[in-house]
Copies of this chain bind each other. A is one copy, B any other.
């Protein structure tokens, strides 16, 4: 039984890639080792050599996406906090026809539900969650430091933005609420991003923090 850290370099990447493509195609509920093997261009026995069971492989996969998705959400070509915040939010929009992304978002949701009954999944997905919240929080904090965003609690704002996006996407992928992720992007732009921006705003408009909240 090999753990994720034992599987080296290329082989590890190839197995993770195959798992990702299999999840995009088949989703989580009915995924089999054969589905993953079908996406793997090396031998099936090599897959089984590294991972005895689907659960073991998926645990390694969850561990892997913590870094992978997190890094992608955090990466940006600009240093400008407003652009980075808009970029972060835009990455959650799934447009009609992006079936791979819908299926993968659903698989992530199924893994989250699975996590309730599985301590190891829960730990790894919690790291994933915290890392993504931290990414938005850092952007908001940078914006405050640079004076482009008004003073808010970066952590609380970041968590609200992230969980709101995931909530809208959940309805899109489970019930087929078309464009729900895009509508959430637009509402976040109007209510949150626009509200954070300081420039051109009358001072009266910033004084909206209710001390009871």
Contact = CB atoms under 8 A, between A and B. Distances in A.
A208 B194 contact: yes
A183 B163 CA distance: 11
A69 to B, nearest CB: 15
A175 B205 contact: no
Nearest to A28: B113
Contact of A156 (B113, B152, B183, B208): B183
- Chain A interface main SS type: helix
A171 B124 CA distance: 13
Given A190-B210, A210-B190, A213-B190, A184 B163 contact: yes
B156 A187 contact: yes
11 contacts: A112-B170, A116-B173, A129-B175, A159-B180, A163-B164, A164-B164, A190-B210, A194-B208, A194-B213, A201-B204, A202-B202
